Structure 1
Amino acid sequence: MLGRQFADVTADIERTPDGRRLCVSREIDAPADVLWDFLTDTERWPEWGPSVRAVDCDSRRIAAGTTGRVETVGGLWVPFEITSCRDRRWTWRVAKIPATGHRVEGDRPCRVVFEIPVLAGGYAPVCARALQDLARLAEA
Protein backbone atom coordinates (compact mmCIF):
# COMPACT_ATOMS: atom_id res chain seq x y z
CA MET A 1 0.00 0.00 0.00
CA LEU A 2 2.76 2.47 0.87
CA GLY A 3 5.14 1.38 -1.86
CA ARG A 4 8.63 0.04 -1.95
CA GLN A 5 10.10 3.22 -0.43
CA PHE A 6 8.43 2.28 2.85
CA ALA A 7 9.00 -1.49 2.73
CA ASP A 8 9.34 -1.84 6.53
CA VAL A 9 6.07 -0.03 7.19
CA THR A 10 2.67 -1.69 7.45
CA ALA A 11 -0.78 -0.10 7.24
CA ASP A 12 -3.98 -1.71 8.53
CA ILE A 13 -7.41 -0.61 9.67
CA GLU A 14 -7.71 -1.21 13.43
CA ARG A 15 -10.23 -0.48 16.13
CA THR A 16 -8.62 1.92 18.61
CA PRO A 17 -9.97 3.66 21.73
CA ASP A 18 -10.92 6.49 19.33
CA GLY A 19 -12.71 4.24 16.83
CA ARG A 20 -11.58 2.79 13.51
CA ARG A 21 -8.25 4.19 12.37
CA LEU A 22 -5.72 3.53 9.65
CA CYS A 23 -2.71 2.38 11.67
CA VAL A 24 0.68 2.90 10.06
CA SER A 25 3.43 1.09 11.97
CA ARG A 26 7.00 -0.11 11.93
CA GLU A 27 9.16 -2.28 14.14
CA ILE A 28 12.22 -0.38 15.41
CA ASP A 29 15.24 -1.98 17.05
CA ALA A 30 15.47 0.39 20.00
CA PRO A 31 14.14 0.45 23.56
CA ALA A 32 10.51 1.53 23.87
CA ASP A 33 11.46 4.25 26.36
CA VAL A 34 13.73 5.87 23.76
CA LEU A 35 10.92 5.95 21.19
CA TRP A 36 8.40 7.18 23.75
CA ASP A 37 10.79 10.02 24.62
CA PHE A 38 10.97 11.06 20.95
CA LEU A 39 7.17 10.98 20.66
CA THR A 40 6.49 13.00 23.83
CA ASP A 41 9.32 15.56 23.67
CA THR A 42 7.99 18.61 21.80
CA GLU A 43 11.52 19.85 21.10
CA ARG A 44 12.22 16.63 19.13
CA TRP A 45 9.04 16.66 16.99
CA PRO A 46 10.64 18.58 14.08
CA GLU A 47 13.44 15.96 13.93
CA TRP A 48 11.07 13.16 12.96
CA GLY A 49 7.78 14.83 11.96
CA PRO A 50 7.90 15.73 8.25
CA SER A 51 4.96 18.13 8.59
CA VAL A 52 6.29 19.89 11.74
CA ARG A 53 8.83 22.68 11.34
CA ALA A 54 8.69 24.11 14.87
CA VAL A 55 6.75 23.82 18.13
CA ASP A 56 5.70 26.55 20.55
CA CYS A 57 4.68 24.95 23.84
CA ASP A 58 5.18 25.80 27.52
CA SER A 59 5.97 22.14 28.29
CA ARG A 60 8.79 20.19 26.72
CA ARG A 61 7.09 16.89 27.69
CA ILE A 62 3.45 16.42 26.83
CA ALA A 63 0.65 15.21 29.09
CA ALA A 64 -3.11 15.18 28.73
CA GLY A 65 -4.22 18.80 28.50
CA THR A 66 -0.92 20.17 27.15
CA THR A 67 -1.54 22.92 24.60
CA GLY A 68 0.63 24.78 22.17
CA ARG A 69 1.04 25.33 18.47
CA VAL A 70 3.03 23.75 15.66
CA GLU A 71 4.43 25.37 12.56
CA THR A 72 3.61 23.35 9.46
CA VAL A 73 5.65 22.95 6.29
CA GLY A 74 3.84 25.89 4.69
CA GLY A 75 4.73 28.21 7.59
CA LEU A 76 1.22 28.16 9.05
CA TRP A 77 1.03 27.98 12.84
CA VAL A 78 -1.84 25.81 14.11
CA PRO A 79 -2.95 25.23 17.71
CA PHE A 80 -2.92 21.79 19.31
CA GLU A 81 -4.17 20.14 22.47
CA ILE A 82 -3.09 16.74 23.78
CA THR A 83 -6.34 14.91 24.49
CA SER A 84 -4.90 11.77 26.12
CA CYS A 85 -1.47 10.56 27.15
CA ARG A 86 -1.06 7.28 29.04
CA ASP A 87 0.15 3.72 28.65
CA ARG A 88 2.58 4.73 25.88
CA ARG A 89 -0.22 6.18 23.75
CA TRP A 90 -1.14 9.79 23.11
CA THR A 91 -3.67 11.60 20.93
CA TRP A 92 -4.26 15.17 20.03
CA ARG A 93 -6.50 17.68 18.31
CA VAL A 94 -4.88 20.02 15.81
CA ALA A 95 -6.85 23.16 15.02
CA LYS A 96 -9.65 21.53 17.09
CA ILE A 97 -9.79 18.54 14.68
CA PRO A 98 -9.01 15.00 15.95
CA ALA A 99 -5.61 14.13 14.51
CA THR A 100 -3.15 11.24 14.70
CA GLY A 101 -2.71 8.96 17.68
CA HIS A 102 0.81 7.83 18.58
CA ARG A 103 1.75 4.68 20.45
CA VAL A 104 4.68 2.41 21.27
CA GLU A 105 4.15 -1.33 21.75
CA GLY A 106 6.55 -3.89 23.19
CA ASP A 107 10.03 -3.31 24.59
CA ARG A 108 12.94 -4.02 22.23
CA PRO A 109 12.46 -4.26 19.42
CA CYS A 110 9.26 -2.29 19.69
CA ARG A 111 6.56 -1.20 17.27
CA VAL A 112 5.69 2.45 16.78
CA VAL A 113 2.17 3.09 15.49
CA PHE A 114 0.51 6.21 14.11
CA GLU A 115 -3.29 6.07 14.19
CA ILE A 116 -4.83 8.15 11.39
CA PRO A 117 -8.53 8.98 11.13
CA VAL A 118 -9.78 6.92 8.17
CA LEU A 119 -10.91 10.00 6.25
CA ALA A 120 -7.35 11.38 6.51
CA GLY A 121 -5.79 8.24 4.97
CA GLY A 122 -3.83 10.38 2.50
CA TYR A 123 -1.60 11.30 5.45
CA ALA A 124 -0.22 7.71 5.60
CA PRO A 125 2.93 8.44 3.51
CA VAL A 126 3.80 11.31 5.87
CA CYS A 127 3.49 8.93 8.83
CA ALA A 128 5.57 6.31 7.00
CA ARG A 129 8.31 8.90 6.51
CA ALA A 130 8.10 9.85 10.21
CA LEU A 131 8.59 6.18 11.13
CA GLN A 132 11.70 6.02 8.92
CA ASP A 133 13.09 9.14 10.61
CA LEU A 134 12.30 7.80 14.08
CA ALA A 135 14.06 4.53 13.27
CA ARG A 136 17.12 6.40 11.99
CA LEU A 137 17.27 8.59 15.10
CA ALA A 138 16.59 5.81 17.64
CA GLU A 139 18.90 3.23 16.09
CA ALA A 140 21.81 5.68 15.79
Structure 2
Amino acid sequence: MASTASYTQLDTAQFTRCSRPPPSPSAGAENGYSYPVPHSFSADSDASVDAVWALVAQPARWPEWAPHVRGAWGLGSPEIESGRCGAARLLWIVPVPVSISATTPGRSWTWQVGPMTLDHLVEPRGHGSRITMTMSAPGPLDAVLGVTYGPVVRILVRRLARVAGAR
Protein backbone atom coordinates (compact mmCIF):
# COMPACT_ATOMS: atom_id res chain seq x y z
CA MET A 1 0.00 0.00 0.00
CA ALA A 2 1.38 3.43 -0.93
CA SER A 3 1.79 5.99 1.79
CA THR A 4 -0.61 8.89 2.07
CA ALA A 5 2.29 11.33 1.86
CA SER A 6 2.93 10.35 -1.76
CA TYR A 7 -0.57 11.49 -2.64
CA THR A 8 -0.69 14.64 -0.56
CA GLN A 9 2.65 15.94 -1.84
CA LEU A 10 1.86 15.85 -5.54
CA ASP A 11 2.69 18.82 -7.72
CA THR A 12 -0.34 21.06 -7.30
CA ALA A 13 0.71 23.69 -9.84
CA GLN A 14 -1.85 22.24 -12.25
CA PHE A 15 -4.71 23.08 -9.87
CA THR A 16 -6.14 26.56 -9.64
CA ARG A 17 -8.89 28.29 -7.76
CA CYS A 18 -12.35 27.38 -8.98
CA SER A 19 -14.08 30.06 -10.97
CA ARG A 20 -17.56 28.63 -10.90
CA PRO A 21 -19.88 29.62 -8.06
CA PRO A 22 -21.34 26.94 -5.80
CA PRO A 23 -24.77 25.68 -6.84
CA SER A 24 -27.72 27.52 -5.38
CA PRO A 25 -30.31 25.61 -3.34
CA SER A 26 -32.63 25.79 -6.33
CA ALA A 27 -30.00 24.52 -8.79
CA GLY A 28 -31.57 22.09 -11.19
CA ALA A 29 -35.08 23.48 -10.63
CA GLU A 30 -35.30 24.30 -14.31
CA ASN A 31 -35.13 20.55 -14.96
CA GLY A 32 -37.70 19.72 -12.32
CA TYR A 33 -35.09 18.91 -9.66
CA SER A 34 -34.38 20.64 -6.39
CA TYR A 35 -32.32 20.02 -3.29
CA PRO A 36 -34.53 18.30 -0.71
CA VAL A 37 -33.94 18.32 3.02
CA PRO A 38 -30.31 17.32 3.50
CA HIS A 39 -29.15 14.24 5.39
CA SER A 40 -27.26 15.19 8.59
CA PHE A 41 -25.14 12.97 10.79
CA SER A 42 -23.69 14.12 14.13
CA ALA A 43 -21.46 12.71 16.85
CA ASP A 44 -20.14 14.17 20.08
CA SER A 45 -16.45 14.00 20.97
CA ASP A 46 -14.44 14.60 24.13
CA ALA A 47 -11.92 16.40 21.92
CA SER A 48 -11.78 20.17 21.66
CA VAL A 49 -13.07 21.96 18.58
CA ASP A 50 -9.46 22.74 17.62
CA ALA A 51 -8.43 19.08 17.82
CA VAL A 52 -11.37 17.95 15.68
CA TRP A 53 -10.88 20.83 13.25
CA ALA A 54 -7.26 19.78 12.65
CA LEU A 55 -8.46 16.33 11.61
CA VAL A 56 -11.35 17.45 9.45
CA ALA A 57 -9.76 20.46 7.72
CA GLN A 58 -6.28 19.14 6.90
CA PRO A 59 -6.34 16.83 3.87
CA ALA A 60 -3.12 15.12 4.94
CA ARG A 61 -4.94 13.93 8.10
CA TRP A 62 -8.13 12.60 6.47
CA PRO A 63 -6.89 8.99 6.28
CA GLU A 64 -6.65 8.97 10.09
CA TRP A 65 -10.45 8.88 10.33
CA ALA A 66 -11.64 8.20 6.76
CA PRO A 67 -9.77 5.08 5.65
CA HIS A 68 -11.26 5.17 2.16
CA VAL A 69 -9.64 8.58 1.52
CA ARG A 70 -5.98 7.97 0.76
CA GLY A 71 -4.91 11.52 -0.03
CA ALA A 72 -5.90 14.80 -1.61
CA TRP A 73 -4.25 17.58 -3.52
CA GLY A 74 -5.01 21.06 -4.78
CA LEU A 75 -7.41 21.84 -1.91
CA GLY A 76 -5.08 23.96 0.22
CA SER A 77 -2.27 23.19 2.63
CA PRO A 78 -2.14 22.57 5.44
CA GLU A 79 -5.88 23.39 5.59
CA ILE A 80 -8.52 23.42 2.90
CA GLU A 81 -9.17 26.82 1.30
CA SER A 82 -12.41 28.17 -0.10
CA GLY A 83 -12.47 28.34 -3.89
CA ARG A 84 -9.88 25.62 -4.42
CA CYS A 85 -10.33 22.77 -6.91
CA GLY A 86 -8.43 19.55 -6.72
CA ALA A 87 -8.98 15.87 -6.15
CA ALA A 88 -9.38 13.35 -3.37
CA ARG A 89 -7.95 9.88 -3.85
CA LEU A 90 -10.46 7.21 -2.87
CA LEU A 91 -9.83 3.53 -2.31
CA TRP A 92 -6.11 3.81 -3.16
CA ILE A 93 -6.88 4.31 -6.85
CA VAL A 94 -9.69 6.64 -7.86
CA PRO A 95 -8.98 10.40 -7.99
CA VAL A 96 -12.29 12.21 -7.57
CA PRO A 97 -12.50 15.89 -8.63
CA VAL A 98 -13.73 18.12 -5.80
CA SER A 99 -14.08 21.82 -5.08
CA ILE A 100 -14.15 23.66 -1.77
CA SER A 101 -17.10 26.04 -2.00
CA ALA A 102 -17.08 27.63 1.48
CA THR A 103 -15.05 27.77 4.68
CA THR A 104 -15.45 29.32 8.09
CA PRO A 105 -11.99 28.73 9.60
CA GLY A 106 -12.05 26.66 12.74
CA ARG A 107 -15.74 25.81 12.36
CA SER A 108 -17.02 24.62 8.98
CA TRP A 109 -16.30 23.91 5.35
CA THR A 110 -18.26 22.69 2.36
CA TRP A 111 -17.20 20.81 -0.72
CA GLN A 112 -18.81 19.80 -3.94
CA VAL A 113 -18.13 16.24 -5.08
CA GLY A 114 -19.85 15.80 -8.43
CA PRO A 115 -23.49 16.69 -7.83
CA MET A 116 -23.20 16.08 -4.07
CA THR A 117 -22.63 18.83 -1.51
CA LEU A 118 -21.09 17.82 1.81
CA ASP A 119 -20.90 20.25 4.74
CA HIS A 120 -18.52 19.66 7.66
CA LEU A 121 -19.30 21.48 10.92
CA VAL A 122 -17.43 21.42 14.23
CA GLU A 123 -18.96 23.26 17.18
CA PRO A 124 -18.36 23.41 20.93
CA ARG A 125 -20.46 21.13 23.10
CA GLY A 126 -19.88 20.95 26.84
CA HIS A 127 -16.21 20.18 27.42
CA GLY A 128 -15.81 18.75 23.95
CA SER A 129 -17.31 19.21 20.52
CA ARG A 130 -20.04 18.10 18.17
CA ILE A 131 -19.23 17.07 14.62
CA THR A 132 -21.95 17.26 11.97
CA MET A 133 -21.72 16.29 8.33
CA THR A 134 -24.62 17.16 6.07
CA MET A 135 -24.97 15.89 2.53
CA SER A 136 -27.39 16.74 -0.22
CA ALA A 137 -27.78 16.21 -3.95
CA PRO A 138 -30.30 17.26 -6.60
CA GLY A 139 -33.48 15.39 -7.38
CA PRO A 140 -33.75 11.63 -7.10
CA LEU A 141 -30.01 11.33 -6.54
CA ASP A 142 -30.54 12.71 -3.02
CA ALA A 143 -32.62 9.70 -1.94
CA VAL A 144 -30.14 7.26 -3.50
CA LEU A 145 -27.25 9.05 -1.81
CA GLY A 146 -29.05 8.98 1.53
CA VAL A 147 -29.52 5.22 1.33
CA THR A 148 -26.10 4.32 -0.09
CA TYR A 149 -23.57 6.85 1.23
CA GLY A 150 -25.55 8.02 4.28
CA PRO A 151 -24.59 4.97 6.38
CA VAL A 152 -20.92 5.49 5.42
CA VAL A 153 -21.04 9.15 6.49
CA ARG A 154 -22.70 8.16 9.78
CA ILE A 155 -19.82 5.73 10.48
CA LEU A 156 -17.21 8.30 9.45
CA VAL A 157 -18.62 10.99 11.75
CA ARG A 158 -18.58 8.56 14.69
CA ARG A 159 -15.06 7.43 13.81
CA LEU A 160 -13.87 11.04 13.58
CA ALA A 161 -15.31 11.76 17.04
CA ARG A 162 -13.62 8.66 18.46
CA VAL A 163 -10.24 9.29 16.81
CA ALA A 164 -10.20 12.94 17.88
CA GLY A 165 -11.13 12.01 21.45
CA ALA A 166 -8.34 9.44 21.65
CA ARG A 167 -5.62 12.01 20.89
Q: How does 1:28-107 map to 2 (within 5 A)?
A: 28-57=45-74, 59-73=77-91, 75-86=93-104, 88-95=107-114, 97-107=115-125
Give structure 1 regions of 4+ aligned residues with deviation exceeding 3 angstroms. none
In 2, are the aligned partners of 1:36 and 1:104 still within 8 Å (CA)?
A: yes
Q: CA deviation at 1:136?
A: 2.7
- Normalised to the residue count of structure 1, the TM-score between the two structures is 0.76
Secondary structure of the 2:81 match is coil
Identity of aligned residues (%): 31
Aligned to 2:5: none
CA RMSD of aligned residues (A): 2.1
Higher strand share: 1
Provide structure 2 residue ranges, at least 5 long, that are not aligned to the other structure: 1-23, 26-34, 137-141
Q: CA deviation at 1:49?
A: 1.7
> Partners of 2:120 and 2:71 in 1: how far apart?
18
Larger Cα-atom Rg: 2
Amino acid at match of 1:109: G
Q: How does 1:103-114 map to 2 (within 5 A)?
A: 103-107=121-125, 108-114=127-133
Amino acid at match of 1:92: W
Amino acid at match of 2:83: G
Provide structure 1 residue ranges, at least 5 long, that are not aligned to the other structure: 1-16
Count of residues in correspondence between the two structures: 123
